[in-house]
Amino acid sequence: MSNPITNDRPIPRPGVLAIDPYVPGKSGVPGATKIYKLSSNETPLGASPHAIEAFATLASKLDLYPDGSVARLRAAIGKRYGLDPDRLVCGNGSDDLLHLLSLAYLGPGDEGIFTTHGFLVYKIAILSAGGTPVVAPEHNLTANADEILACVTPRTKIVYLANPNNPTGTYMPFEEVKRLHAALPKHVVLVLDAAYAEYVRRNDYAEGIELVATNENVVMTRTFSKIFGLANLRLGWMYAPAHICGAINRIRGPFNVNGTALEAGIAAVEDVMHVEAAIAHNEKWLPWMTNEIEKIGLEVTPSVANFVLVHFPEKSGVSADAADAFLAARGIIVRAVGAYGLPDCLRMTIGTEEANRLVVEVLRDYVAEARRG
């Protein structure tokens, strides 16, 4: 039974304590001599050497405020992607921007839509703004335009679509994204979360720049945490219509991008060769990991990102929890995804060659042992 509400201490507004806190992937294993961290989809190539050098230049300037407008970073992003810097907003990771969009466009009684296995932050952002989360079913672990549209009501104000999706690695083809957008009411904000866009090698995929450029209710969010290797600095950006940028700039923190992230971000976005190397590494090892794990007898959801979702159905004699523990005992950290409604799965980042080969070897040992047992 819950404790009765009293007036002897501050009480959060209704709904706040009903929010399940976000739990990140594990970062360590007690007693392990060497850790292979495949739980957070970090790039195995690390940050660009130019970004590391730029970060170091701030060591003697930690007492100074950064540029609150991040004008040089927005200009660098705009130059790289051919975008108007005035239609860009940067944040403390793309999570920051996802929250700000909910705060700007949702209130009590309003609804925000996301899909069954969509990024956990969407629900938290909607609830934080006082809105009501609405979950659209997926088909084969993939977002479906018709299912999302079936959830739209007069109270819908925002739709979050992770494309590609985390943790499934699946994506919605661009023609379907356009069809979804065309059927949405004009006052509904469609947020295309393209955190893993750089990894996608499919001809029918687009990150959403075209839709944002030609419409008044589409936003694309991106991150420096994945392929750019700046997860520790927390840096993200969004491309949006001018009026949406205006709204977000009114409520964001005045210095929501720190100076080290600003300088490293400029260097990272300009280092095209480093990004190309990361893409090439993923193109080689994503299919290799998928094929090798399938040879073991485990199902892998086809992924276009830098991770794979591996299934451990208990009816076949294996268990996600047991596999997680087996891997961890050997220093391999992967991501349990029960919080995403996938208790029989583990998400595994594409790592270094050494890590990739080791995780396959250890999974092979686990499956053989589990099915003998």
CATH code, domain with 230? 3.40.640.10
pTM > 0.75:
yes
The answer on 87 and 38 residing in a single domain is no
The answer on 243 and 200 residing in a single domain is yes
**Residue 191 is assigned to a structural domain of this protein:** yes
Last residue of a domain, one of 241, 271, 301: 271
The answer on 28 and 151 residing in a single domain is no
Say whether pLDDT at 23 is over 90.
no
What local confidence, expressed as pLDDT, does residue 373 receive? 66
The mean per-residue pLDDT over the stretch 92-117 comes to: 97
Q: Supply the range of the domain harboring residue 295.
A: 16-46+273-372
Last residue of a domain, one of 242, 271, 300: 271
The answer on 143 and 29 residing in a single domain is no
**Residue 230 is assigned to a structural domain of this protein:** yes
Q: Which tens digits make up the pLDDT trace of 39-98?
A: 999 999 999 999 999 999 999 999 999 999 999 999 999 999 999 999 999 999 999 999
Within 10 A of 338 (CB to CB), how many other CB atoms are there? Answer: 13
Confidence label for 366 from pLDDT (cuts 50, 70 and 90) = very high
Within 10 A of 1 (CB to CB), how many other CB atoms are there? Answer: 3
Within 10 A of 62 (CB to CB), how many other CB atoms are there? Answer: 9
What local confidence, expressed as pLDDT, does residue 31 receive? 67
Say whether pLDDT at 1 is over 50.
no
The answer on 200 and 190 residing in a single domain is yes
The answer on 277 and 264 residing in a single domain is no
The answer on 168 and 92 residing in a single domain is yes
The answer on 329 and 186 residing in a single domain is no
> Total structural domains in the chain?
2
The answer on 199 and 335 residing in a single domain is no
For all residues of the chain together, what is the average pLDDT?
94
The mean per-residue pLDDT over the stretch 203-228 comes to: 97
Kindly state the percentage of the chain with pLDDT values over 90.
89
CATH number of the domain bearing residue 344? 3.90.1150.10
Confidence label for 6 from pLDDT (cuts 50, 70 and 90) = low
The answer on 218 and 173 residing in a single domain is yes
β-strands 300-301, 307-311 pairing: antiparallel
Identify the burial level of 327 via C-beta atoms within 10 angstroms of its C-beta, where 0-12 means exposed, 13-18 middle and 19 or more buried: buried
Last residue of a domain, one of 212, 236, 271: 271
The mean per-residue pLDDT over the stretch 339-364 comes to: 97
Q: Which residues contact 299 (CB under 8 A, 6 or more apart)?
A: 310, 311, 313
The answer on 286 and 267 residing in a single domain is no
